[in-house]
Amino acid sequence: MHIDVRYYAMLKERRGMDTERVEVPGGTTARALYALLFPEPRVPVQAAVGHAVVSLDTELNDGDEVVFLPPVGGG
């Protein structure tokens, strides 16, 4: 199945792009997708699918748009 991924902040810099379409097997979770895209070291993130924040254990569906939200720094 195909998943569209959007990257922001440090994740965009690490991937070198702001969007990407990824092919993954059925049953892939947001956590598994993140591990595939960002081998160690990984920063803690939240995931959003279809504009809603979801658990990293959420199974993805063909055509989902996933955004990984890195921690926000302030100061």
| Residues 23-50: tens digit of each pLDDT | 999 999 999 999 999 988 778 999 999 9
pTM of the model: 0.90
User: In this model, does residue 17 exceed pLDDT 60?
Assistant: yes
DSSP for 20-66 reads EEEE--TT-BHHHHHHHHS-SS----EEEETTEEE-TTPBP-TT-EE
pLDDT reading at 73 higher than 80: no
DSSP code of residue 7: -
Domain locations along the chain: 2-69
- For residue 74, the model assigns a pLDDT of 54
**Which CATH fold would you assign to the domain 2-69?**
Ubiquitin-like (UB roll) (3.10.20)
